[in-house]
Structure 1
Amino acid sequence: MLSPTYAIVDIETTGHSPAKGDRMIQFAVVFVRDWQIHSTFSTFIQPGKKIPFFIQDLTNISDEDVKDAPVFEDVAGDIYDMLEDCIFVAHNTNFDLSFVQAEFKRIGFPLWKGKKMDTVELSRLLFPTSFSYKLQDITQERGIQLTNAHRADDDAYATAELFIECMKEIEKLPIQTLELIHKRSFQLKFDISSLFFEALQKKRKMLKSENLDFYKGIPLRQKYLMKSSEESSFYYPETKNQKRLYFSEGLQDFKERDGQFQMMDAIWQTFQEKNELAIEASTGLGKTLSYLIPSYFHAKQQNKKVLISTYTTHLMEQLHDVEIPKLEAIVKNKVHVAILKGARHYLDLHRFEELLRAKDESYDETFAICQLLVWLTRTSTGDVGELNVSSGGQFFLDKVRKNAFSVKTSDVNDHDFHAYALLQSQQADILITNHAMLFTDRHRLEPLLSDEISALIIDEAHQFIQAANTRDERIFSYTQWKYVFGQLGTRDQEQLTYAFANVLEKHGVDVIYSFEELDRIYIKCSEKFDEAVQSLIQNVSRKTATKTHSKQTVLFEELELDYELLDEVYQYLQRWVTIAQHLLERMGKSQLESTHADKLVAAEWQYWLNEMKIKTGEWVDIFLSSPSEHSVWLEMDRRSVPGSLHVYKKPIDSTLAVNEIFNDWRGRAGIVWTSGTLSVPGNNRFIVNQLGLPDTVSIKTYSAPKDFYQGANLFIVDDMPDIQHVSQSEFIEAVADAVIQTVLITEGRCFVLFTSQDMLRKTVDLIQDTGLLEDYMLFAQGMTSGSRMKLLKSFQRFRKSVLFGTNSFWEGVDVPGDALSAVILVRLPFSSPDEPVFKTQADRLTKQGINSFSSLALPEAILRFRQGFGRLIRSSTDRGVFIVLDRRIESKSYGKEFIRALPDIPIKKVSLEDMVLDLEHWYNEKV
């Protein structure tokens, strides 16, 4: 039998729609046989129209390049013949093949027929933890050279190499994994089952055994516990010379910073004295190593653990993957580190194995299962956060996470990922966790964070307030509740209740009366639930009748709630849960042997019963419990009620929750709180007081060397309109003009930071309408699809790009070097007076006779302002401009407080026209 020939195709076009007149400008194909590249073909194609500027910028193909190229009609026959009898492969086959087919159809050729494969689908399946599956990203990750991205010849060649790499990955998979995936591969979108069959045939001829663990036939990567470290010197470097020696021998690019050495000593002393300290450490100081080095030596000397807590998973991984290797190089020893997360971060193998033997419900579910099977042969943690799944796959992932109701049996425990993580933590010198885990652990029956901890570092300490206020946050979502109700149904609706009733009847359990009662309660509960929701909507509509905006936000204290109706819903929920639980217990007492199908239905019943228990608790917490110390509010959009209805309940004071955690450690462990932003001018205890730390906790401030910010400049544009005296549209026009002029001078490389998603959207729409930045890639949070990190990656990929952001882009984004030249601040980052949590906090302060503006609104805004500036200069060689478009920084008395909060950098108060001239001079100097 002849080996198949794979035609790996890539095309460049004038746009996405051949039906609207878009045409091909380049066609390339690479032929692969026996997993080797055999030949290539490439040609420019004359599209018969101008190539749009953004396509020229993207592809580097100009009108001049295609001027003398053949039209598609002249090469169509050759292309058709080349593709015949081949398997068509592309990176996003649905685009390339459909465009080629449309071109064939346009000139009267028959449509190409044959099998097709897609390297996007293959890459997603075989590299399930990759950050991105765009061709540039996935090839770079796999070490495949792609010199000229968005040129069909280079893209096709890189795709061919990626395709061969995918086959190599398939052949590495254990035979049991191949069998499990091959069985499901026929349900995938493309014809890739033959690839898994080919690999299976090869594997079956091999006798080589593989080092694997197995859970009920599912291959798992073997786990190994960390070993004790080699003997080494565990003496902390007390003197400057000792520190210099450690750093200079461990780090090639070491630059001595007095502040870094001082911070190390302050932390070391705090640990030794079991004291508590707050440290504000500016960007450029080397904060992370400043606390890692004393943490390591303290852990070794005390033979106990140091716990480091940060805010996000991304920061935890950055600590583990980037900073710990630096620490190991400095101390010349292996540092035993464990990452500790809550149980929901880990895969529930028992639940996954149950669903693996069931019939898949959708493509997304099938594909997620295949991704998990591949991932299980590689993951050493079982942390599902490693996976990059589709939104549909995320639904499946949520089903197979560990939770409080997960089955605990001996065969599961031997392979339990969460138990393994806990075991690793027992062997570690340094534990890395997140702020949320500290709150979760506090309420655990047997806390994981035991007496073994002798010191704690709370990094990103200002975010501990947010973590505290999120600890018991509750969110009611109408659509989520209806989804849960829809999964259960009644027996007449033939949903899960119908299936579970049939299973019980098979087991000889008399259930007629119980299910009649269950159905009756379910119907009444659904009716009362809808009645309660309608009551809420009518209540809000009366309250906001005079408001013109479609999106409404109303505090609960402003509404007249029907507590009797809300309690009725709770009573029905509770009765349904009680009967449903009783029915599950009756099945457990049945003497008949259950089939796997029966067990699966029972497991589904258990899963959704648990969801109903959680929902019942949410209902009480949100609607029927006292809202003291909380802000409770309702949000909805009049254009889509009740689907848009959400109710939020958040704490407004973090001090009690913080002290609950740390009071047990105070006096027996050293505690260090650190952040780049703890203070504001005139109030260096702003964050410390919000955390509720004792007055005895002192604050130390360490700054980067004076020359660290020498490349920074602040521009205050003093002829911008005052938004309080002009219409919003007039202000947005001025903002759009300032952004356009700045971008054209700096050639992109700009962050534009907003405090309002609505203003961001309107500004971006206006800029796009002008067409003045059509040569630039514009990425906008809330408009461009993808997570914050994906937007950032996209921004960095293109030379001429602009990123528009709100909220999360104010901090935690690191773009060193030339990738970022300017940060444009549209408005000073005050909280909206109508933002519910802020409004509740401000009202409470006012009632206490405290000025909420000076004690809350202003300090919060100054901290965000500092964080926005912090995006600009990330190393001593960076150069950039910080541009403020809000005149209040100049016209209001509090404006000088914002300027005082910045490092000592040149400040220029100029008109937009003069700023552009200065920028042009500055940028030409830079280039």
Structure 2
Amino acid sequence: MKIDEDSFEKLLAEHPPCLFEVKVIDDRIIVLDKTQQVEGDLLFFGGDRFEAIEFAFDYQDVIGWLFFSDGENLEIIAKPDNALDTDEIFKKVFSSDGFETREEQLKIARFIEKLFKEARHGIIEAPTGTGKSIAYLVPAVLHAKRHSEKVVISTNTKNLQLQLFNKEIPFLKRFVEFKAEIAFGRNNYLCKRKVESIFSKGDMLLFDGDSFSYIKDFYKTTTTGLKSEFFSQYNIDESLWRLVESSTLSCAHSKCPHYKKDCFFYKVKDRLERADIIVSNHHLVLSDSVLEHAEILPEYSCLVFDEAHNIEKNATNYYTNSTTTSEILRLLDMLYKKGLKTESGLLANFDGIEELKNLIVEQKNLIESIVETFLKGFKKREAIALEVEGLTDFAKELSNCIGKVINSLNNFIKDRDSSEIVDIKGVFLLLSNIRDIIESFLVFDNRDAVLWIEKSGGVKFNITPVDVKKPLNDFLLDKLNSVVFISATLSVADSFDFFKNVVGLDNADCYIAHSNFNYQDNSVLLVVDDLHEPKDEEFDIDVAEALKDIAKALETNKRGVLVLFTSYRMLNNVFESVADFIQSKGFDILRQGELDNFELLNRFKKGGCFLFATNSFWEGIDVKGDALSVVVITKLPFEVPTSPIQRFRYEKLKKEGVNAFYEYSLPKAVLRLKQGLGRLIRSKDDRGVMVVLDRRIFSKSYGRVFVESLSYMNIKRIKSSEIESSIVDFFDSSVS
């Protein structure tokens, strides 16, 4: 730090010793005025240095910075709590019980601190064991405190979001004071007005059995109004929550008795305004970025995307505009539903509108009929591009049905006091938005998006951006000072070019951290090079035999094995072939799909299991010790472009003269493989074996990209006859 040049004149004009009020901006000290008021940031000019130290001790509760200067030299005598720097905080962290010095963690923190200070975007690969959560939280807190700006931390899953908020943040608060809040989407909060309205108007018939009584009990007892809290206590159809969830379109604002008083959502929003750090999730950050005048997150300048390897998938999902025919039918039921002896819905208690009520019933029946006709011949969850035969006629009929309801509803709304039809108006706006999406399928000239439908909840209409570069840049990267993407797997062969291209970040600063784990000594990657290729019919048989050899190798100690597949078809085929043999060796054998993933993982953690899994188990699971000692990659995880958006992206690259395999498919497979292998070593004491059964890693020219991306590992090329002995030898060597 140094005294601003213009401030020296003020100092020299006075006779020391004297006290000055100062202002600290970055590394500059601005001298304001001579003062006798002992508070805030001060400079002790002239006199005895030890007198300044004694002064700091006496007034430590009311002063912030205290500097001492004799006119030539400058010394910092005291700092406020929020003036701690990154290195000082990490000294305290590393000296805590259960923590060890991690140089890479500190390097990551310094790198992020520099990004924030220079208003730069950054990409960081932080392997398992580097402690990336604390590494980004420390500079985020310091930046927020120094500049009175909010920093948002975004995670891919709510599990990590809760872990940060309930574990890492309370830990960090032991060393630096700051305010942190957790943010969920608005529909995660109960709307008090809706619950009261349903009860007072007798609309409980919209709910099945005891569902409404559960919601009413929750309304009376909850202090958070959170959806997750409700479903942890009650088991009802999740679609019923939508009848009572908080929503922008159905918010009564100042006409609601709870508005900005005891409204669950607005109480949270008020706390977010006062926070330094906001822990959010990708879904909320991305969806909030496109909203105007209805944002949940307050204004912020810096953003950290944790688990950033998922950002393309996340952004594709959240920037896709979708609706379903089941949603249309649900909204019509919300408006009016006629039973044999009863009627329910938002319009049920209004008299003199029989024509509107009958119209809603008629159009709902008609929509059900045309959907049933259109879906004949569709496979389960089949996804089809725009060109499907009959789609235009179907979309036109659907739009006409919705249009008739909208027009009649609009006439009804115009004649009513807005305070009594808040929810009806919300449904009207939702139906209008849905019709706009469907009509896009009738007149479409946007080359930057793909229109496609799928059999999911009736018929689902989707408008998806071809790539996510433009929306990410328009809504986030161009608006924020600094966006940091961090994950354990972002580089391919030590290059971030693929990720940069996906998100549209050409000028980002990049850093690859080194893992704190000793992969060379504590693990081995065995590549079996004499099996059939995955395209061959015999491959499934080869995989089954290899798994039998692994079971024999581990029979004595019953170490856990995670077997990762790329398709359920192959998973089931191999499982049926080897289940009896593996069980005969004393192992439990688990298969994804037989239990929910949470219960499956809990059973696996007990040890002595083979777990056959795909999709979600390639990432995000954390099993330490012998319960997971071997990870088997049955097949290199190349993406098969099955969905319309995937196929369109590949075709677009080909038309642009880009080799879609080398520039898109291969890098994605490398990152996916790194994620899968990352399930093995989860602590510095873990030891384990990774087995790849796909020979292409050595037999194909592109295999070198996989090898180069795993250069930190001890890779051994073996024959299938060596699987059992190689695994036994590795674990025997760890014992000796």
TM range (shorter): 0.7 to 0.9
Amino acid corresponding to residue 688 of structure 1 in structure 2: K
**Number of the residue aligned with 2:71:** none
State the Cα distance separating 1:423 from its structure 2 match. Answer: 0.8
Supply the distance in 1 between the matched residues of 2:242 and 2:557 (Cα, whole angstroms). Answer: 44
Find the residue that maps to 2:112 and give its secondary structure. helix
Matches within 5 A, 1:92-131: none
CA contact (8 A) 1:521 1:572 kept: yes
CA contact (8 A) 1:474 1:621 kept: no
CA 393–492 in structure 1, closer or farther in 2 if over 3 Å, else same:
closer
1:703 to 2:514 alignment: yes
Find the residue that maps to 1:883 and give its secondary structure. strand
CA contact (8 A) 1:722 1:731 kept: no
1:652 to 2:466 alignment: yes
State the Cα distance separating 1:729 from its structure 2 match. Answer: 5.4
1:346 to 2:189 alignment: yes
Supply the distance in 2 between the matched residues of 1:529 and 1:764 (Cα, whole angstroms). Answer: 38
Deviations 1:890-920 (A, max 9, x none): 2111122212212522222223342212323
**Number of the residue aligned with 1:382:** 226
Amino acid corresponding to residue 620 of structure 1 in structure 2: E
CA contact (8 A) 1:346 1:384 kept: no
CA 846–872 in structure 1, closer or farther in 2 if over 3 Å, else same:
same
Find the residue that maps to 1:252 and give its secondary structure. coil
Amino acid corresponding to residue 234 of structure 1 in structure 2: N
**Number of the residue aligned with 1:395:** 239
**Number of the residue aligned with 2:85:** 237
**Number of the residue aligned with 1:269:** 114
CA 494–709 in structure 1, closer or farther in 2 if over 3 Å, else same:
farther
Deviations 1:233-263 (A, max 9, x none): 2234365xx45532234x2122222222222
Supply the distance in 2 between the matched residues of 1:835 and 1:734 (Cα, whole angstroms). Answer: 33
**Number of the residue aligned with 1:714:** 525
Find the residue that maps to 1:563 and give its secondary structure. helix
Deviations 1:202-237 (A, max 9, x none): xxxxxxxxxxxxxxxxxxxxxxxxxx9999422343
Amino acid corresponding to residue 680 of structure 1 in structure 2: V
**Number of the residue aligned with 1:809:** 617
Amino acid corresponding to residue 614 of structure 2 in structure 1: T
CA 396–485 in structure 1, closer or farther in 2 if over 3 Å, else same:
closer
Which range moved further: 457-466 or 354-363? 354-363
Matches within 5 A, 1:308-387: 308-329=153-174, 331=175, 333-355=176-198, 366=210, 369-370=213-214, 373=217, 377=221, 379-380=223-224, 382-384=226-228, 387=231
State the Cα distance separating 1:298 from its structure 2 match. Answer: 1.6
Supply the distance in 2 between the matched residues of 1:576 and 1:438 (Cα, whole angstroms). Answer: 34
CA contact (8 A) 2:82 2:142 kept: yes
Q: Paired residue for 1:792, among 582, 601, 608?
A: 601
CA contact (8 A) 2:533 2:539 kept: no
Supply the distance in 2 between the matched residues of 1:552 and 1:292 (Cα, whole angstroms). Answer: 41
Deviations 1:428-478 (A, max 9, x none): 111111222223223333264888534322222222222211123245556
1:859 to 2:704 alignment: no
Supply the distance in 2 between the matched residues of 1:260 and 1:519 (Cα, whole angstroms). Answer: 62
Supply the distance in 1 between the matched residues of 2:639 and 2:486 (Cα, whole angstroms). Answer: 24
CA contact (8 A) 1:635 1:647 kept: yes
Supply the distance in 1 between the matched residues of 2:330 and 2:578 (Cα, whole angstroms). Answer: 39
CA 920–555 in structure 1, closer or farther in 2 if over 3 Å, else same:
same
Q: Percent identity?
A: 24
Which range moved further: 335-344 or 358-367? 358-367
CA 327–706 in structure 1, closer or farther in 2 if over 3 Å, else same:
same
CA 362–921 in structure 1, closer or farther in 2 if over 3 Å, else same:
farther
Matches within 5 A, 1:392-471: 392-404=236-248, 405-408=250-253, 409-413=255-259, 414-446=261-293, 448=295, 453-471=300-318
Q: Paired residue for 2:719, among 905, 911, 921?
A: 911
Supply the distance in 1 between the matched residues of 2:549 and 2:644 (Cα, whole angstroms). Answer: 32
Amino acid corresponding to residue 243 of structure 2 in structure 1: K
Matches within 5 A, 1:656-667: 656-666=470-480
CA contact (8 A) 1:270 1:276 kept: yes
CA contact (8 A) 2:319 2:471 kept: no
**Number of the residue aligned with 2:570:** 759
Supply the distance in 1 between the matched residues of 2:712 and 2:396 (Cα, whole angstroms). Answer: 59
**Number of the residue aligned with 1:504:** 350
Matches within 5 A, 1:536-575: 537=376, 553=382, 555-575=384-404
Let me know the Cα RMSD of the aligned residues: 3.7
Find the residue that maps to 2:694 and give its secondary structure. coil
Find the residue that maps to 2:518 and give its secondary structure. helix
Amino acid corresponding to residue 183 of structure 2 in structure 1: L
1:281 to 2:126 alignment: yes
Find the residue that maps to 1:453 and give its secondary structure. coil
Q: Give the total of aligned pairs.
A: 656
- RCO comparison, higher one (Cα < 8 Å, 6+): 2
**Number of the residue aligned with 1:684:** 496
CA contact (8 A) 1:768 1:774 kept: no
CA contact (8 A) 2:86 2:139 kept: no
Find the residue that maps to 1:317 and give its secondary structure. helix
Amino acid corresponding to residue 392 of structure 2 in structure 1: Y
Supply the distance in 1 between the matched residues of 2:234 and 2:538 (Cα, whole angstroms). Answer: 41
Supply the distance in 2 between the matched residues of 1:890 and 1:833 (Cα, whole angstroms). Answer: 24
**Number of the residue aligned with 2:635:** 827
**Number of the residue aligned with 1:65:** none
Q: Paired residue for 1:576, among 390, 405, 429?
A: 405
CA 296–480 in structure 1, closer or farther in 2 if over 3 Å, else same:
closer
State the Cα distance separating 1:412 from its structure 2 match. Answer: 1.6
CA contact (8 A) 1:488 1:495 kept: no
For structure 2, list consecutive stretches of 5 or more residues without a partner in the other structure.
Answer: 1-61, 65-78
State the Cα distance separating 1:314 from its structure 2 match. Answer: 1.4
State the Cα distance separating 1:772 from its structure 2 match. Answer: 3.3
Supply the distance in 2 between the matched residues of 1:487 and 1:450 (Cα, whole angstroms). Answer: 29
Q: TM-score, normalised by structure 1?
A: 0.64
CA contact (8 A) 2:82 2:177 kept: no
CA 468–449 in structure 1, closer or farther in 2 if over 3 Å, else same:
same
State the Cα distance separating 1:390 from its structure 2 match. Answer: 6.1
CA 906–492 in structure 1, closer or farther in 2 if over 3 Å, else same:
closer
CA contact (8 A) 1:845 1:852 kept: yes
Deviations 1:660-699 (A, max 9, x none): 1235535xx3332222222101642211221111x32221
Q: Paired residue for 1:674, among 466, 481, 486?
A: 486
Supply the distance in 1 between the matched residues of 2:555 and 2:354 (Cα, whole angstroms). Answer: 74
Deviations 1:84-140 (A, max 9, x none): xxxxxxxxxxxxxxxxxxxxxxxxxxxxxxxxxxxxxxxxxxxxxxxxxxxxxxxxx
CA contact (8 A) 1:720 1:886 kept: yes
Q: TM-score, normalised by structure 2?
A: 0.79
Supply the distance in 1 between the matched residues of 2:535 and 2:342 (Cα, whole angstroms). Answer: 56
State the Cα distance separating 1:723 from its structure 2 match. Answer: 2.5
State the Cα distance separating 1:858 from its structure 2 match. Answer: 0.2
State the Cα distance separating 1:748 from its structure 2 match. Answer: 4.8
